[in-house]
Amino acid sequence: MLTEGGYPYVDGEGWLWCDRLVRGLGHHEFDVYAFSSSEAQEQAGWVPLPPQVGRVRTAPLWGAWGDGVVYGRRARRRFSEHYGELAAVLCAATDPLAPDSRPAKPGTPRVSAEADRFATALHGLAELARDEGGLQSALRSETAVRALERACRAPGALRTAREARVPDLLAVAAHLERALRPLSLDWYEEDGLGAVDVCHAAAGGVTALPGLLAHHFSGVPLLVTEYGVRLRTHYLTRPDSPPAVRALLAAFHGRLAAEIYRRAAFITPGNTHARRWQERCGADRAKLRTVYPGMDAAPFAEVGEAPESAEPHTLVWVGHVQPAKDLVSLLHAFAEIRKEEPKTRLRIIGGPCGPEGAAYLGHCRALAAQLFPDEAESPHSVGDNPVSFEELGGPELPTPADAYGRGAVTVSSSVVEGFPVGLVEAMFCGRATVSTDVGAVVEAIGGTGLVVPPRNPRALAEACVSLLRDPERRARLGAAARARALELFTADQSIAAFHGIYLEIVARTPVHRLLLDATGDPLPFATPAEAHVPGHWTDRTSRVLPGWAMDAPVPATETAR
């Protein structure tokens, strides 16, 4: 299992589904190779690990990291050649996701010449790091910056790359140094990733890079799971970065994603929205298997089986407070709702996500105070604001189920969303939902809730009012939502899907190491017969078939018989 900033760390993102998968597949043995995202995360420690986790190896992707390796003349020449080729591909004025226009050879995928150059340079750097004991010193050297500068100034380079200045080149070189740190690790030996049967990356990009190298060095099959496409994040973030920096980093992550998808045995997006992104990034449809993130429905069962416990005039929003959740639009929509239904209350439940989230929460509190001044029944009584900001874990709201249970309607106002975990939790609770049409929202609710355009307070208000005024419709939608969630989004469904994918990968991949029984003799049938035939048999999805193995046309007489 390959992770980044998640499992097995206590405060990691997305660790829960990894933990459920590992615990659910108790008959498999797991080794965890994890990248940490900060010093605080490492100090927080790990979650309790089940006995099927045999080994955990970690490496930081933060702070300064040096190998202290001094290259000789030949090694310096190899680094200049491979890094210069990598930089030239990133600066090339071509779409990193565009396939080659030339016809593909039989048995091979359609891959551009630039993609081959990128793969050759990346693997060349990996082999250099393996031979010399590390790559970090070279990646931070003046040689790397000068290679980027030559590539940006070369004829035919991308226009925005030609405009790069020294600070831009330094920023790109620093990002590449962090992204290429997995190349310098000692994880790929025969007693490490080279000995496993499957590398399962819990995300794409840098997380899957060790699996890509294990495939390159030892033929280990790679499975990539993405619930949020990393490449999409790189396209949508860094709005304040200079154009040259954005262009070069987008080119790098685009090339890396395409190479990972090309070499992966299977790719498991968490929803159709992510699947479309992966296809656009070069993923072969034949390799794609949609697997929804499995969730534990048990904590929500009591609330889901008692829908009458809901407060009939209460809207609930649950989540991490951050600008992407667009609570400003929700507050403006609630102002319209109060004009139609004066008794309605809005409970915003959740803490801020980072410093940016804390500032955004303060802004939302100020806006709520401005839109809804305290309403007092008399000059001598204290007003009661219809909007409340609360956090989970207190005596009134100890669990998320308690939060969803307090509202008649659960509202989501996001402008950016991957898989809407919060909406699925509300579905487990049997609650009707009103949400914005972003990410995989429509796919998740499947007609069991109301969907409106994002950043449209009026439409959001009208949908909420229609459900507040129709309790029978709320009950029907809530019951349908709970049934859909129990059918598609439980942990058992996800575990069964990955178990089948594991078996399928192992079944179609020849054993790449000698297996011995208790007496030291080779196990019978451990190595398929085709493994003895020359050719790239460990990668059945991208190998070149030998001439005698091509499908021959069947004569008409044979067809008739």
460 is a domain residue? yes
Q: For residue 59, give the 3-state DSSP assignment.
A: strand
Q: Which two tokens mark 256?
A: 């890396």
Helix (H) or strand (E) holding 166: helix 166-179
- Half-sphere exposure at residue 470, Cβ-oriented, CA atoms within 13 angstroms: 12
The CA-based diameter of the chain, rounded to the nearest angstrom, is 101
pLDDT over 70 percentage in the chain: 83
Q: Which two tokens mark 248?
A: 């070069």
For the cut 90, the answer to whether the pLDDT of residue 168 exceeds it is yes
The last residue of a domain, from among 489, 517, 546:
489
**Axis-axis angle for helices 243-263, 209-218 (nearest 10):** 50
Burial class (CB in 10 A: 0-12, 13-18, 19+), 82: buried
For residue 417, what is the domain's CATH number?
3.40.50.2000
Residues 175 and 203 placed together within one structural domain of the fold: yes
Residues 108 and 248 placed together within one structural domain of the fold: yes
Q: Are 473 and 467 in contact (CB under 8 A)?
A: yes
| pLDDT class of 340 with cuts at 50, 70, 90 | very high
For the segment 308-332, the average pLDDT, to the nearest whole number, is 91
Q: What is the rounded distance in angstroms from the CA atom of residue 445 to the CA atom of residue 447?
A: 6
Q: Which of 365, 336, 291 is nearest to 464 (CA)?
A: 336
For the segment 373-401, the average pLDDT, to the nearest whole number, is 75
Q: Are 152 and 173 in contact (CB under 8 A)?
A: no
Check whether the bond before 8 is cis (ω within 30° of 0): yes
| pLDDT class of 198 with cuts at 50, 70, 90 | very high
For the segment 425-441, the average pLDDT, to the nearest whole number, is 94
Per-residue model confidence (pLDDT) at position 353? 79
Long-range contacts, 436-442 (Cβ 8 Å, 24+): 436/326, 436/412, 436/460, 438/414, 439/271, 439/273, 439/414, 440/270, 440/271, 440/272, 440/273, 440/274, 441/412, 441/414, 441/417
Residues 240 and 358 placed together within one structural domain of the fold: no
The last residue of a domain, from among 218, 253, 287:
287
> Which residues in 125-175 belong to E strands, given as ranges?
none
Q: What share of the chain is helix, strand, coil (3-state, %, to 5)?
A: 50, 15, 40
Distances (CA, A) of 446 to 85, 128, 175, 440: 47, 50, 40, 10
DSSP state of 144: H
Residues 264 and 335 placed together within one structural domain of the fold: no
Q: Which of 490, 493, 511 is nearest to 501 (CA)?
A: 493
139 is a domain residue? yes
For the segment 18-42, the average pLDDT, to the nearest whole number, is 92
Q: For residue 222, give the 3-state DSSP assignment.
A: strand
Length of the chain: 561
Q: Which of 250, 82, 246 is nearest to 164 (CA)?
A: 246
Q: Are 67 and 137 in contact (CB under 8 A)?
A: yes
> Which residues in 227-364 belong to E strands, given as ranges?
266-269, 311-318, 345-349
528 is a domain residue? no
Q: Which of 124, 95, 87, 126 is nearest to 112 (CA)?
A: 95
- Give me the residue label for tokens 């129990």: 486
Q: Which of 3, 48, 43 is nearest to 23 (CA)?
A: 48
Per-residue model confidence (pLDDT) at position 90? 93
| pLDDT class of 523 with cuts at 50, 70, 90 | low
Residues 366 and 469 placed together within one structural domain of the fold: yes
Q: Are 7 and 15 in contact (CB under 8 A)?
A: yes
Number of domains in the chain: 3
For the cut 80, the answer to whether the pLDDT of residue 515 exceeds it is no
- In tens, the pLDDT along 344-362 reads 999 999 988 778 889 999 9
Residues 79 and 23 placed together within one structural domain of the fold: no
DSSP state of 228: S
Residues 116 and 182 placed together within one structural domain of the fold: yes
The last residue of a domain, from among 489, 506, 521:
489
For the segment 470-491, the average pLDDT, to the nearest whole number, is 94
Residues 351 and 305 placed together within one structural domain of the fold: yes
Q: What is the rounded distance in angstroms from the CA atom of residue 434 to the CA atom of residue 441?
A: 10
| pLDDT class of 393 with cuts at 50, 70, 90 | confident
Q: Which of 393, 319, 333 is nearest to 368 (CA)?
A: 333
| pLDDT class of 188 with cuts at 50, 70, 90 | very high
- In tens, the pLDDT along 260-299 reads 999 999 999 988 888 988 898 889 999 999 999 888 899 9
- In tens, the pLDDT along 207-236 reads 999 999 999 999 999 999 988 766 666 555
Q: What is the rounded distance in angstroms from the CA atom of residue 158 to the CA atom of residue 163?
A: 9
Neighbours of 171 (CB within 10 A): 17
| pLDDT class of 398 with cuts at 50, 70, 90 | confident
**Mean pLDDT, all residues of the chain:** 85
292 is a domain residue? no
- In tens, the pLDDT along 87-105 reads 999 998 666 555 544 444 4
Q: Which residue has the higher pLDDT, 546 or 443?
A: 443
Residues 281 and 305 placed together within one structural domain of the fold: no
Tell me the residue range of the domain where 167 lies. Answer: 73-287
522 is a domain residue? no
pLDDT over 90 percentage in the chain: 59
Per-residue model confidence (pLDDT) at position 556? 42
Backbone angles phi, psi at 363, to 5 degrees: -65, -40
557 is a domain residue? no
Burial class (CB in 10 A: 0-12, 13-18, 19+), 220: buried
Q: Which two tokens mark 355?
A: 């410093």
For the cut 50, the answer to whether the pLDDT of residue 195 exceeds it is yes
43 is a domain residue? yes
DSSP state of 298: G
**Axis-axis angle for helices 243-263, 166-179 (nearest 10):** 20
- In tens, the pLDDT along 38-73 reads 888 899 899 999 999 999 999 998 887 766 778 889
For the cut 70, the answer to whether the pLDDT of residue 242 exceeds it is yes
Per-residue model confidence (pLDDT) at position 539? 43
Residues 80 and 15 placed together within one structural domain of the fold: no
Residues 302 and 277 placed together within one structural domain of the fold: no
Per-residue model confidence (pLDDT) at position 181? 94
Residues 87 and 216 placed together within one structural domain of the fold: yes
Find residue 225's DSSP bridge partners. 268
- Half-sphere exposure at residue 103, Cβ-oriented, CA atoms within 13 angstroms: 2
546 is a domain residue? no
Compute the C-alpha angle 174/178/183, nearest 5°: 125
Q: What is the rounded distance in angstroms from the CA atom of residue 147 to the CA atom of residue 159?
A: 17
For the segment 17-45, the average pLDDT, to the nearest whole number, is 91
For the segment 4-12, the average pLDDT, to the nearest whole number, is 87
